[in-house]
């Protein structure tokens, strides 16, 4: 029940069914990583182990759903260099901490890591003549950092005939995913409450704090994340790095 931050690397596997998933994307595999909260005290060996274990896996992409930065980039150069060694494509959306510490430098810092910044963008992944859409939203608090998201204009660009996956730091953004019939949303932010019973407070602000849920057509998976914030431990809210495998259908295993 008690877990010191960054000591355990808890990989979990989850199969998620998407009804209109193209045949060529069957078993498309995503490492869902979130809430590393990297600062000067983050143990380097833990990040090295994380990167090694991710690189050992046969996956298609990493979805990094925010709160990577918990310090200015110039103070965490070595941890960032370690993370830049991830060999798989990494698609990143900002969390509130990323905007607080690196808003003006976020684009350049993410580029240095070799990651794709997906904030307020849609990209299409192609396999032959079949496609899958990735949508990214900057953090739900973006407006407090002078960033306008223009959600309706962004989602209006979706091809409704193609399956779609939304990366958004905060689960509350499911209101947009549901409105525009996005198939799957991947989020973090909550840490699963991090320290019981704080999860009950989190539920006052977020519709979900962990796990897989469904609203209409849209499924949402909220990870408890890998790191910690405020306190360097968790209680009754274990960390996780989740291997999501997509399959055609309406079910999850």
Distance CA 68, CA 71 (A): 9
What percent of the chain is predicted at pLDDT more than 70? 92
> Which of 32-46, 136-150, 174-188, 231-245 is predicted with the least confidence, judged by mean pLDDT?
231-245
23 part of a folded domain: yes
Give the helix/strand (H/E) hosting 51. Answer: helix 44-56
| Residue 195: band (very low, low, confident or very high) from pLDDT cuts 50, 70, 90 | low
Do 120 and 16 contact (CB within 8 A), yes or no?
no
Residue 82 belongs to domain spanning: 2-248
pLDDT for res 232: 72
Distance CA 63, CA 222 (A): 12
Q: What is the mean pLDDT of the chain?
A: 92
CB-hemisphere CA count at 13 Å for 31? 26
Distance CA 140, CA 68 (A): 16
pLDDT for res 149: 95
pLDDT for res 85: 98
Eight-state DSSP code of residue 188: -
Torsion over CA: 78, 79, 82, 83 (sign): negative
Place of tokens 């840490």: 191
Residue 253 has pLDDT above 60, yes or no: no
Over residues 165-183, the mean pLDDT reads: 96
212 part of a folded domain: yes
What tens digit of pLDDT does each residue of 25-38 get? 999 999 999 999 99
* CATH number for the domain that contains residue 185: 3.60.21.10
Residue 252 has pLDDT above 60, yes or no: no
pLDDT for res 229: 77
Domain count, the chain: 1
253 part of a folded domain: no
Q: Kindly report the length of the chain.
A: 253
Mode of pairing for the β-strands spanning 29-33 and 218-222: unpaired
Over residues 75-93, the mean pLDDT reads: 98
Tokens at 212, concatenated: 């897989």
Residue 51 has pLDDT above 60, yes or no: yes
pLDDT for res 199: 58
What tens digit of pLDDT does each residue of 204-243 get? 778 899 999 999 999 999 999 998 876 675 776 789 999 9
231 part of a folded domain: yes
| Residue 187: band (very low, low, confident or very high) from pLDDT cuts 50, 70, 90 | very high
12 part of a folded domain: yes
218 part of a folded domain: yes
pLDDT for res 205: 77
């Amino acid at each position: 029940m008690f877990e010191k931050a960054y000591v355990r690397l808890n990989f979990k596997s989850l199969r998620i069914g998407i009804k209109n998933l193209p045949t060529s994307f069957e078993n498309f595999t995503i490492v869902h990583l979130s809430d590393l909260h990297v600062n000067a005290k983050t143990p380097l060996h833990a990040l090295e182990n994380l990167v090694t274990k991710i690189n050992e896996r046969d996956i298609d992409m990493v979805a990094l759903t925010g709160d990577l930065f918990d310090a200015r980039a110039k103070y965490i150069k070595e941890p960032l260099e370690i993370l830049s060694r991830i060999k798989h494509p990494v698609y990143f959306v900002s969390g509130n901490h990323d905007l607080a510490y690196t808003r003006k430098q976020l684009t350049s810092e993410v580029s240095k890591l070799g990651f794709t910044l997906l904030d307020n963008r849609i990209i299409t992944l192609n396999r032959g003549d079949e496609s899958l859409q990735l949508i990214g939203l900057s953090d739900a608090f973006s407006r407090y950092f002078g960033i306008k998201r223009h959600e309706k204009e962004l989602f209006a660009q979706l091809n409704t005939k193609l399956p779609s996956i939304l990366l958004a730091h905060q689960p509350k953004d499911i209101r947009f995913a549901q409105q525009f019939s996005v198939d799957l949303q991947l989020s973090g932010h909550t840490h699963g409450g991090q320290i019981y019973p704080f999860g009950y407070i989190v539920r006052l602000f977020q519709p979900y704090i962990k796990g897989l849920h469904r609203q209409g057509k849209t499924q949402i998976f909220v990870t408890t994340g890998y790191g910690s914030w405020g306190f360097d431990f968790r209680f009754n809210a274990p960390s996780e790095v989740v291997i999501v495998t997509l399959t055609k259908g309406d079910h999850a295993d």
